[in-house]
Each structure stands twice: as structure tokens, then as C-alpha cells.
Structure 1
């Protein structure tokens, strides 16, 4: 066995990609609510039944592209170098994402990424669907902190909620700015400064609020 997917699996991957590409193309051209699932299925040359087998909801046709990021913070914590604190690893990873213009940091102004971000931000059902990713990210990170860093369960859960919320707030600020005109280059210094400030707050707790 060479580890490569078999013919059936490759066919499924091609079908999945074809449906996704057709959906994104139609949504960006006409609007999320203006395009029906039937139209997506027709454009991808599959039946509605086949489409729903790959994407259970219409919203999944969009947000599945971010699905790999749901457990990203947990993976960073588990893969950190020995002696590296979890928060340090997460800070370095987020700053690296900013440098590399990773769309998950909100700092990517490629035209299609900008349009996709704007569509998500302007569609309540997509925003709500993204919240499910946020909850999943919190759960996965809490488990990683507990299992790989030996942090007590309650502390791990409370820390995970704060860390994920901070990263989502940073990415949301960047995405909002870029979706409506600001360039990634212009935003970068502010994005880095905001990230440094946010992780300093996480590192020091909320002492500034205690007087």
C-alpha cells in the first residue's frame, strides 16, 4: 500500500470539490440567498440527494472550507516543542498566520477571499453556523490543554473560551476592515500590534480590571 486514496475515494474527493466550487462560484456571483440548492446541484452535475450526502445544509457549502481550522488551536498545543508554554505556541502560531496572510486570521485581501468574507459577514445564517465552529474549537482546545499540558479540567475550559474568543475577535476585526476596502499591507502593523496586546492580556490575566 502506498498510502494514496483509492479510486472510489478519489472520485468522492472530486465530487466534493466540484460541488463546493460550483456553490462558491454561484454564491459569489448571485448572492447566498438568491441561489438554491437545486441550482448548485445542477451546476455541479449531481442530484440534490448526492449534494446533501456531502453537505447536509446549504450553509455547509460555504463554511466547510474553514472546517480544518476548527481544531487548529488544539493541534498547535499538542504539537508544540517541549518546554514551550501552550499560550506561547498559540501566540507564535497566530503571528505566523498574520505574516503568511492566512485567511483564518482575517488578514488576506485576495479578491475572492474578500468577497467570501463579506458574504459570510452579511449573512446571519452563515454567521450562526460559524459560531458552531467556535464552540467546537473551544472544546477541542480545552481537551488539548487538559491532556497534553496537564491543566485541570475547569481551568482548561475557562482558558480555552478566552483564547478562542480573543483569536476570533482579532480575526473578525481584520476581516471586517479588509472586507470593506482596507488592504492587508495597510492593516498588518495594526493587526500585529493588536495580537501582541491581546496575548499580553491573556498572559497577564485581567489585572487591569481589578483597579
Structure 2
């Protein structure tokens, strides 16, 4: 065994990619709500039954491209260097993502990435599906905090909700700006400043909001 996928697995990968590519092309051309699953299946030259075997819902045809990112923050926490605080690791990873124009930070203005973000924002069912994605990220991070930082269950859960929400809000702000015309280079300095402020608020426990003038 050389570790390479067999012919059956390669065929499955090609079918998966063909369905995904056909779906995204149709959605971007006509709109997510205007394209049926039957049309996607026809364009990919597969049956509806085969399509649903790979993608259980229409929304999964889009969201699956982000699937690897659902547990990304948890993976960063688990893989952080010794004596590095979880929040520090997440902050540095997000800032690195901004520098590299990682689409998950919202700071990527490649035409197709921009169009996909705008499509998600304009489709309520996709927005709802992304909320499930967000909830999965919270659960994974809470578990990582408990297992690697000896964090009590409630503390880990509350921390995960806040960290994921901040990550999410920052990315959404960037994506919305770029989806409607702003370039990644123009947005970069503001995105970094917003991220620094957001993580500082997390680190300080929002104490500035309770201080008296």
C-alpha cells in the first residue's frame, strides 16, 4: 500500500468535485434560490439520488467548502505551543489569516470568493446553515479548552461562545465590505485594527464597559 486513494475513492472524489463545481457555477450565475437541486444534478450528470448521497441538503452544496474550518479554532488551540494561552494562539492565527488573505477571515477579494460571500449573505437559508456551522465551532472549541487548558465545563463553553462570536463578527464585517466593492488591500489596516480591539476586549473581560466615567 502506497497510501494513495484507490480507483473507487478517486471516482468518488471526482463525482463530489463535479457536483460541487456545477452547483457553485449555477448558483453564482442564476442565484441560490433560483436553482433547483434537479438542475444541479443535471449539470453534473448525476441523479438526484447520487447528489443527495454526497450532499444531504441544497445548502451543503455551498457550506461544504467551509467544512474544514468548522473545527479550525479548536485545532489551533490544541496545537498551540507550550505556555501559549489559547486566546493568544487564536488571535495570532486570525492575524496571520488576514496577512495571507485567507477567505475564512473575510479578507479575500478574489472575484469568485467575493461572489460566494455575497450569495451567502443574500440567501436566508444559507445564513441559517452557517449558524449551525458556528454552533459546531463553539462545541469543538469548548471541548479543546477543557482538554488542553483544564478549563471547567461552563467556563469553556462560555469562552468558546465569545471567541467564536468575535471571530465570526470580524470575518463577516470584512466579507460584507469586500462583497460590496472594497478591496482587501484597502480593508487590511482596518481589519487588523478591528481584530486587535476585539481580542483586547476578550482578554480584558469587557471591564471597560463597566467602568465609571
TM over 0.5: yes
1:72-111 aligned within 5 A: 72-111=72-111
Q: Note the residue ranges of structure 2 that are not aligned, 5 or more in a row.
A: none
- In 2, the alpha carbon distance for the partners of 1:45 and 1:7 equals 19
Shift of 1:99: 0.4
Shift of 1:175: 0.5
CA offset digits 1:110-161 (Å, max 9, x no partner): 0000011000000000000000000000000000000011111111000000
- In 2, the alpha carbon distance for the partners of 1:41 and 1:92 equals 41
Superposition CA RMSD, Å: 0.6
Match of 2:30 in 1: 30
Classify the secondary structure of the residue corresponding to 2:38: helix
Classify the secondary structure of the residue corresponding to 1:109: coil
Shift of 1:210: 1.4
- In 2, the alpha carbon distance for the partners of 1:108 and 1:69 equals 15
Match of 1:131 in 2: 131
Classify the secondary structure of the residue corresponding to 2:70: helix
Counterpart check, 1:57 vs 2:57: yes
- Write out the 4+ residue segments of structure 1 that deviate beyond 2 Å after TM superposition: none
- In 2, the alpha carbon distance for the partners of 1:49 and 1:88 equals 46
Classify the secondary structure of the residue corresponding to 2:144: helix
Q: Note the residue ranges of structure 1 that are not aligned, 5 or more in a row.
A: none
Shift of 1:8: 1.0
Counterpart check, 1:140 vs 2:156: no
Shift of 1:77: 0.4
- In 2, the alpha carbon distance for the partners of 1:204 and 1:5 equals 48
Classify the secondary structure of the residue corresponding to 2:71: helix
- In 2, the alpha carbon distance for the partners of 1:149 and 1:205 equals 18
- In 1, the alpha carbon distance for the partners of 2:111 and 2:67 equals 21
Match of 1:113 in 2: 113
Counterpart check, 1:197 vs 2:200: no
Shift of 1:90: 0.3
Classify the secondary structure of the residue corresponding to 1:56: coil
- In 2, the alpha carbon distance for the partners of 1:10 and 1:154 equals 43
- In 2, the alpha carbon distance for the partners of 1:104 and 1:121 equals 14
